[in-house]
Structure 1
Amino acid sequence: MLKEIAVADLRVGMFVHKICGSWIDHPFWRTRFALREAEDVAKLRSSGVERLVIDLERGVDVLPALVPVDEPLSDATPEPAP
């Protein structure tokens, strides 16, 4: 499955299927490749490319958003202990 994401969400282990924009906007000669090193992620983030498409069948997905510790998980109030 293909998924378009922001470059800020990139991480090692993803498979880049397509870099959105012109080929001269990024430092890679290929447009389909696995991100195996943190340096490659840093290069893409600093290149000016804003979005790209990843292949979830060939690499990992975006990390889920974390819930802040000080924020309640629901609006329900817990029942008092008997």
Structure 2
Amino acid sequence: MPTYEYVCNNCGYVFEEFQKISDEPIKICPKCGGNVSKKISAGVGLIFKGSGFYITDYKRSNSSGNGTKPEKSSETTKSEKD
């Protein structure tokens, strides 16, 4: 069931309602009793909830093969300090 967003034409109150597609749209503001209009929204897209999703699950691989950046060696750091 989708969530619809409404805005009151009288007081400007914005609220969401979890409704079936076949339900009649809400016409009365629950706060002031004025007329409401259904807002047109782009939707939410994909939402990941819960544990188990990691950034490495869908990471693109680099040309180096392992997908990590090479670290500087300690010898390079010592020579740069001298």
Instruction: Answer whether TM exceeds 0.5 for this pair.
Output: no
- When Rg is computed on C-alpha atoms for both structures, the one with the higher figure is 2
Give the TM interval when normalised to the shorter protein: under 0.3
